[in-house]
Amino acid sequence: MQTKRFGEKYGQYALVAGGSDGLGYAFAEAIARRGLNLVLIARQEDRLRAAAARLLETYQVDVIPLAADMADFENVKKLISALDVSIGLLVYNAAFAPIGLFENTIEEHLALAADVNVKGPLLLAKFLSAPMIQRKRGGIVLMSSLAGGQGSPKIAAYAATKSFNAILAEGLWKELRPHGIDVIACCAGAVLTPGYKQAEKTRKAPGAMEALAVAEKTLNALGGGPVIIPGLINKAGRFILARLLSRKAAINIMSKNTGGLS
């Protein structure tokens, strides 16, 4: 979508949850390229402010950093409510991924995954969509994952939360479309972020993509269908896993891809 049309459609400010680095920063950069101002939310204030400074210097857009934990939604809501800006685009990229066997994962990490990956996008989409409905325009991007298409050993809880986001986006795509609000779930494969490179000790997963490429393809698809799968290899993989193979076979294949995570 051209810069002018993008601004007309989604307004002055976009909010990126988890926007200080990795894929979240790539989304912030892709949005800034389109001329929108930014509200960035992340836990680590030093990284957040550094990211905001880089975006301001490079793209000359207003960048408001909010240091907050998406697990504490009431605080996030309070901070956003105090802003005197109109947010017309939400990108929910914040996530917590417990890695390892379920039997070895502590309850606190499972609860955190549910708070950040499920409760966070659900309630933030509800909160920000209300004024979008009144304005008759807006956009919501929820990050899902190819891991959420079937059970994914060693990231079982994370994969389940990502399945939730894809189904939520599909329902909201239909419900909010009459109000002029575009909704899409990005079902990405492996994204070459610093966090992924640290977790994947053995080899790069097939179809792994650079973060900025994933962000650009997702934003370009906003306003189309309810789901995007960036990358031809990932599209083919999703088709094979979901349509051609049994669930048992799909889980076994995914296990081979996630077995090296630690």
Is 59 considered catalytic here?
Answer: no
Both tokens of 57, joined, read 């210097």
Helix ranges (DSSP H) in the chain: 3-10, 22-33, 45-59, 73-81, 107-114, 120-135, 156-176, 194-199, 211-221, 232-239, 247-258
Six-digit token string for 63: 């960048």
Tell me how far the alpha carbon of residue 162 is from its chain's centroid. 9
Q: Which of 13, 59, 92, 158 is catalytic?
A: 158
- Please indicate whether residue 10 is annotated as part of the active site: no
Q: What angle do CA 102, 103, 106 make, to 5 degrees?
A: 80
Indicate the burial class of 114 (C-beta count within 10 angstroms; 0-12, 13-18, 19 or more).
Answer: middle
CA nearest to 128, candidates 67, 176, 66: 176
CB contact at 8 A, 6 and 37: no
Which amino acid would we find at residue 66? L
Distances (CA, A) of 221 to 36, 51, 115, 205: 17, 25, 28, 24
**Phi, psi dihedral angles at 42 (to 5 degrees):** -160, 165
**Cα 35 off chain centre by:** 20
Catalytic-role residue among 25, 59, 154, 162:
162
Q: Within its chain, how far is the Cα of 81 from the centroid? A: 22
Q: Is 186 in a helix, a strand, or coil?
A: strand
Residues labelled as active-site residues = 158, 162
